[in-house]
Structure 1
Amino acid sequence: MPLAEIPLCVWRTRGLSFSFRGQDIRYWTAGQGDPLLLIHGFPTASWDWHYLWAPLAQRFRVIACDMLGFGDSAKPLHHPYSLMEQADLQQALLSHLQIDQPVHLLAHDYGASVSQELLARRHEGRAKVASCVFLNGGLFPERHRALLIQKLLLSRLGWLVGRSFGRDDLVRHVSQIYGPCTRPSESALDDYWSLIATNRGTRILHKLVAYVPERSTYRERWVGALMSQQVPLRFINGAVDPVSGAHMLERYKELVPNPDTVSLHGIGHYPHTEAPVQVLRHYLDFREQPLAYLPQKVAWS
């Protein structure tokens, strides 16, 4: 049975705000139980989780924010955006909510790198993480295949590319990374564009995309966090994603001890919106396992 969608207009009315280093951050929380932190990707926002939000909130206390520079949160123009600071933001949000117990992470794309930093901080005793599930993230920068738009944004003229970026550009680039049968509707594309354009977000796209080289800078730290085997991990991967698909999953299986992986056939870069029922099933299956148990598993769905 399909999962119910939360329209963006409704999602926005349920958001709350807190201040992070003088910047307004929008966040959402619902449910009770173990805290589950959902961390979105680039260039979208926490609305990406809207299909999974209600069913997860029936079992856990779900928490998500639009990270600095994304969605409905502040997008300061003269700001050096970094994944490190976004990890600080996630910890500040948990502190704001007075959550002191270990949290479970479910992260996509850009958010997967933020989660890797949180895992590294756990190893250092500076963060409390109980488990982590990744969706299509650039966990290993040597296997990440950047899109042309990302390369252009990283160029000297990136600021100009970002400012001229429009809805038609979004449609053209998004069409490359979804599965052939799971592309978003025109309505969903309108909503994605709204989240990017809010607060004049195109002015900072070239700054946000600095996460791509940042992954290489911190590769040893973040890959080491995956290999440390301190908390249960699972990688749910949309196999036909040209950016971080089957080739990224293969690298994960090469480097991570006792890899727990799920490959979703025919699914692209956004498994949680392309195949939310499957992602929910595989996530709940993961959570039903004893926390100390890390099986080797490959599932096709």
Structure 2
Amino acid sequence: MTKGFRRWITGAALVGILLIGAPWLRDPETKILNAPDSTVFPGSYADIETGHIRYVLEGPDQGEIVMLVGGLTTSLEFFDETARFLNNAGYRTLRFDIYGRGGSARPWDAIYDRQMFVNQIDGLLAALEIDQPIHVVGQSLGGGISVAWAVAHPETVRSLSIHASAGYVPELPAFAAILDIPWLGDYAWWWIGNGFVSGNLGKYFPEPQKHSAEIASLNAQFKSAQQYRGYRRAVLMTIRNFDAHNMQTEYEQLDAGQIPIQMIWGAQDGVIPVGAADTLIEWMSGTPDLVVLDSIGHMPLLQAPETTQMLVLEHLRKH
């Protein structure tokens, strides 16, 4: 073996090691969240069999309860302003971190499918001894979770308000197919997962320069959660196993005549196009109340808070 060839082999090996090891070397998940940590993630904690859940239950003791369910990557802080608005209007709000996000547990062996999140809500409500019918508001993936839970427990849902809801995506991005492939998808996610959330904020906001404060707040939430082992895996496993792009079975079981349903969508949504709402409505029984907001993207509660909050409040007061 010539000296030049040995150098080539050595160089190729180093490149291979770097390609394999680079994602782990840049891994921001340097901490482990084995127990509730209210110093980093303030709030209350419920300890159930599948892991602790961070939550905030606040508002008038006798107020009707509104459960706020967040999206794929967000924590309960997403609903801070909405909770305050509803509390001032006389409602009691329950917001929480879905598993893998914020201060809630990150069970490493979990598959993060629909049933897991339905069970999480069941466990949280049981721990808080909430057994009366409640209103449910869900954003994006939280809309899909809310629909799955409502289908499982229609008798406990006073009303449902879903915003840019998961359930149908006409065309998945190319990288989604790669993420579904074992090993290759995991490796690709190690490379892109760190920047996936912040890199997609432009799709959430059609005019991001007008929402610098909201974007900065979201980035702060993401960075806080991303420090802890399991966040990135939770997002990946949810993408793989929740099947947010096709929830036809659940929506076909949803009856807008039995459960009052409000749908709010931004006309400029770059994540789940507003046209998806038409398909979801076709699948449902009954006729939900669809409101499309002009010039708004994927997060109406952040981009048009006053308008969206009033729409939600009007819906709640009717039911």
Q: TM-score range by the shorter chain?
A: 0.7 to 0.9
User: Counterpart of 2:54?
Assistant: 26
Contact 2:160 2:259 in 1 (8 A): yes
Q: Does 1:179 align with 2:206?
A: yes
Q: Is the 8 A contact 1:75 1:204 kept in 2?
A: yes
How far apart, CA to CA, are the structure 2 residues paired with 1:73 and 1:40? Answer: 13
Aligned AA (2:181): S
Corresponding pairs, count: 274
User: Are 1:39 and 2:65 counterparts?
Assistant: no
Cα distance in 1, alignment partners of residues 84 and 251 from structure 2:
32
Q: Matches of 1:239 and 1:247 in 2, distance apart?
A: 9
CA gap of 1:104–1:287, structure 2 versus 1, over 3 A, is same
Judging changes above 3 Å, is the alpha-carbon distance between structure 1 residues 79 and 253 closer, same or farther for their aligned structure 2 residues? closer
Secondary structure, aligned partner of 1:231: coil
Distance (Å, rounded) in 1 between the aligned partners of 2:134 and 2:207? 35
Partner of 2:22: none
Paired AA for residue 93 in structure 1: L
Q: What value does the CA root-mean-square deviation take over the aligned residues?
A: 2.5
The alpha carbon displacement at 1:249 in A equals 2.4
Is residue 2:240 matched to residue 1:210? Answer: yes
Q: What letter corresponds to residue 90 of structure 1 in structure 2? A: I
Which residue of structure 1 lines up, in the alignment, with residue 253 of structure 2? 225
CA contact (8 A) 1:122 1:128 kept: yes
CA contact (8 A) 1:37 1:103 kept: yes
TM-score normalised according to structure 2 size: 0.77
Larger Rg: 2
After superposing the two structures, state which structure 1 stretch, 160-169 or 90-99, moved more: 160-169
Counterpart amino acid of 1:245?
P
- Aligned-pair distance for 1:13? 5.9
Q: Is the 8 A contact 1:154 1:206 kept in 2?
A: no
Question: 1:187 Cα shift?
Answer: 2.4
Letter in structure 1 aligned against 2:97: D
Distance 2:134 2:100 in 1: 24
The residue matched to 1:57 in structure 2 has which SS? Answer: helix
1:162 aligned partner: 189
Query: What is the CA distance between 1:242 and its match in structure 2?
Result: 2.4
Matches within 5 A, 1:47-196: 47-58=77-88, 59-123=90-154, 128-139=156-167, 141=168, 143-147=169-173, 150-156=176-182, 157-165=184-192, 168-180=195-207, 182-185=210-213, 187-196=216-225
Distance in 2 between the 1:199 and 1:179 partners?
Answer: 30
How far off its partner does 1:30 sit?
0.5
- The one-letter amino acid of 1:158's match is G
Whether contact under 8 Å (2:65, 2:91) holds in the other structure is: yes
Q: Give the letter aligned to residue 65 of structure 1.
A: F
Aligned-pair identity (%): 21
1:262 aligned residue: 291
What is the one-letter code of the residue matched to 1:226? L
Deviation at 1:113, TM superposition (A): 1.4
Alignment CA distance shift 1:19-1:204 (3 Å): same
- Structure-1-length-normalised TM-score: 0.81
Does the alignment pair 1:272 with 2:301?
Answer: yes
Query: Does structure 2 conserve the Cα–Cα contact (< 8 Å) formed by 1:237 and 1:246?
Result: yes
- Structure 2 alignment gaps of length 5 or more: 1-37
1:225-256 Cα deviation digits (max 9, x unpaired) = 33352111100111211232321223244444
Instruction: Give the 3-state SS of the residue equivalent to 2:105 in structure 1.
Output: coil
Change (3 A) 1:103 1:193: same
Letter in 2 for 1:42: L
